[in-house]
Amino acid sequence: MLKEQTGKVYLVGAGPGDCNLMTVRSRELLSSAEVLIYDALIDIPQLELIPVTCRKIEVGKRGGKPSTQQQEINRLLVENCKLGKQVVRLKSGDPFIFGRSSSEIQALKEANCDFEVVPGISSALVAPLLAGIPLTDPVMSRCFAVMSAHEPDALEWSALVQIETLVILMGGRNLNEIIWQLQKHGRSPATPIAIIRDCSRPQQQIWLGTLADILYKTAGESLSPCVIIIGEVVRLREYLMQPQKTNSIDKSATHKNSQQPLAGNTILVTRAASQSAEFSRSLEQLGARAIEMPALEIGAPSSWEPLDDAIAQLSSFQWLILTSHNAVDWFFQRLEAHQKDARSLSGIKIAVVGKKTAESLRSRSVTANYIPPNFVADSLVENFPDILQNCKILFPRVESGGRELLVQEFTARGSHIIEVPAYQSRCPENIDPIALAALQNRAVDIITFASSKTVQNFCHLIEKAPELSQSKDWLENICIASIGPETSKSCQNLLGKLDVEAKEYTLDGLTRAIVEWATK
């Protein structure tokens, strides 16, 4: 008799927003979740550990926005647990700090559902720390209080003004009332205040002032979600923060090691979503905050027929040219679809462009016969190690927007080059919302481009954001970094500027060039 599958619900704290600040236990649970029930404050696009098969249910909980009723959330937890699922109830910050976990736990206990509570770091602690504001100090603050200002009338303000440091959550929409109550009950108008919105995230913003002027400084701004710190300890930020480059909005708070060469820099990565993770990790290891804004979507060509015909007559070709990691992947996938493998390439020489393409080929137990010295496709012909007259060459490539010059030069030398579409790269329909927010808030320091097509698609996506496309100066303080000459030309033509070009036309070369620029 088969044992009945047992479900379990994990009430997990997601931390303040940056998935790098999640606990190890939380990340492990996300990687195996079958059902994810999450608050709107969770940055789901950043949580790459979530399996693609996981069912995701957003339940709101963002101030001022529609939210699922708590009774319905309780029902969803119980229902999915009873179905034998591993359910992660992901909450912003810590589940037991304004997380309404009691109601959910009570519902799970009444239904005899197994559950576990997994702690997270509350933004009440993280936001001041990342902003360089200590909540305690031997002289200025011997204690602090954390409160929600979602319902300011419910707070005992006469008692709160006696506490040296106040940390207020969910207070952005009620800032007027908070300021009025504090001054009404005796707090000095000169009392320092800091407001930190989207703490730990790329679009983090900080406003500094006093009770007397903070309303003026934040007029017209959307402050939620934010953490408000009130007290003399706010003044310590000036002495505790490392001096770093900032744009017009104060974003100098960073939890990265300031000795790392890219610390304090937010870098936008425009590679395809399926290819950006490794590059982003390498930047983060150097201290950067990487935001992925996919400017390419890689998929199958509109028709496999040309490539299938070429595979059917592989033995008639002398050379196979692969100019990218994508070309390798999709060509070999199609080989496998025809029950073929690397042995089908016996007797065919292979030319590749770039170290990464060569590595991708080696991962399939195949070694390239030729790699041009400067890793540029257009130099293939110039240094080609074989007689090109009457040479038959197979060139699986992107369906549109590829290198026409390469084909023209081989043809001019007397080669018979057969181009076949092996994959297609398209522009995504919409700009990633996290990347858009970072650009709108002037929170990006560097934008990286690894191909001309990413530049073209990036510009197309920006056209869909009027607040950027209609602004004349949004690129003014941003470094544009290119992987090589062809990409650089596109940057100059379409963006009107270029600040960094890799000396070696690889992602490693691009990383080194960015580090050199950042450490000047």
Catalytic residues: 39, 61, 170
Kindly write down the DSSP assignment for every residue of 98-146, as one continuous string.
S--HHHHHHHHHHTT--EEEE----HHHHHHHHTT--S-BTTTBS-EEE
Q: Is 106 left (phi over 0), alpha (psi -120 to 50) or beta?
A: alpha
Give the phi and the psi of residue 397 in degrees, each rounded to 5: -150, 175
In the beta sheet, which residues pair with residue 35? 55, 87
Rounded CA-CA distance 107/113 in Å is: 9
Rounded CA-CA distance 422/399 in Å is: 7
Rounded CA-CA distance 467/440 in Å is: 7
**Beta strands, E only, 349-412:** 349-352, 392-398
Strands in 115-118's sheet, in edge-to-edge order, are: 55-58, 35-38, 86-91, 8-13, 115-118
Rounded CA-CA distance 75/113 in Å is: 12
Rounded CA-CA distance 36/402 in Å is: 40
Structure tokens belonging to residue 458: 């990036």
Reported as type and span, the H/E element at residue 342 is none
Alpha helices in 446-504 (DSSP H): 452-462, 466-469, 485-490
CB 228 within 8 A of CB 200: no
Nearest Cα residue to 60 out of 22, 91, 85: 91
Structure tokens belonging to residue 322: 């692969």
Structure tokens belonging to residue 138: 């031997």
